[in-house]
C-alpha cells in the first residue's frame, strides 16, 4: 500500500545556490538544513536538495519518492514486476528508509518508508 507521492528530491551541485533558488521559489526557509541535505515542506509536499545526488547516487533528474508502509515488500513486488534495484533501503536518519528502482524504460522510482 502507498500513501502517495509525497517527497521529491533534486540532485544539486551547489547547495548554497540551490538553497537560495528554492527558498525564493517557495518563499520559505528550509525545515532541514545540513551539508548533506536541505529540505522544505511546501503545501504538504517534502522537497529535498541532495548535493550527493549526481556524484554518489547517479541521479540525473529529480526523483519522486512514494511513501510506503513496508519498503521491503514494495521492493520485492517491484522487482517481481520487472524493476531493478538501484539503491537498497538506506536509513537517512530517524529510522526513515529510502530506496530506488528503475523500470524497463530507465525511469527512477523512489520509495520512502517513514
CATH (domain of 82): 3.10.180.10
For residue 84, the enclosing domain spans: 2-113
pTM, two decimals, is 0.89
**Overall number of domains in the chain:** 1
Order of strands, sheet of 108-113, starting from the edge strand that comes earlier in the sequence: 32-34, 37-42, 45-50, 2-11, 63-68, 108-113, 97-102, 84-91
Query: Which tens digits make up the pLDDT trace of 18-41?
Result: 999 999 999 999 999 999 999 999
68 and 113 Cβ atoms separated by less than 8 Å: yes
Q: Determine the pLDDT at residue 36.
A: 94
Amino acid at each position: 500500500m502507498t500513501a502517495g507521492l509525497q517527497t521529491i528530491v533534486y540532485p544539486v551541485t551547489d547547495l548554497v545556490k540551490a538553497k537560495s533558488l528554492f527558498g525564493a521559489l517557495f518563499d520559505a526557509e528550509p525545515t532541514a538544513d545540513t551539508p548533506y541535505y536541505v529540505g522544505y515542506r511546501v503545501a504538504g509536499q517534502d522537497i529535498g536538495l541532495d548535493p550527493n545526488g549526481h556524484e554518489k547516487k547517479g541521479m540525473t533528474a529529480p526523483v519522486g519518492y512514494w511513501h510506503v508502509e513496508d519498503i521491503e515488500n514494495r521492493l520485492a513486488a517491484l522487482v517481481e514486476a520487472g524493476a531493478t534495484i538501484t539503491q537498497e533501503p538506506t536509513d537517512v536518519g530517524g529510522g526513515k528508509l529510502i530506496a530506488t528502482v528503475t523500470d524497463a524504460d530507465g525511469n527512477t522510482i523512489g520509495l520512502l518508508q517513514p
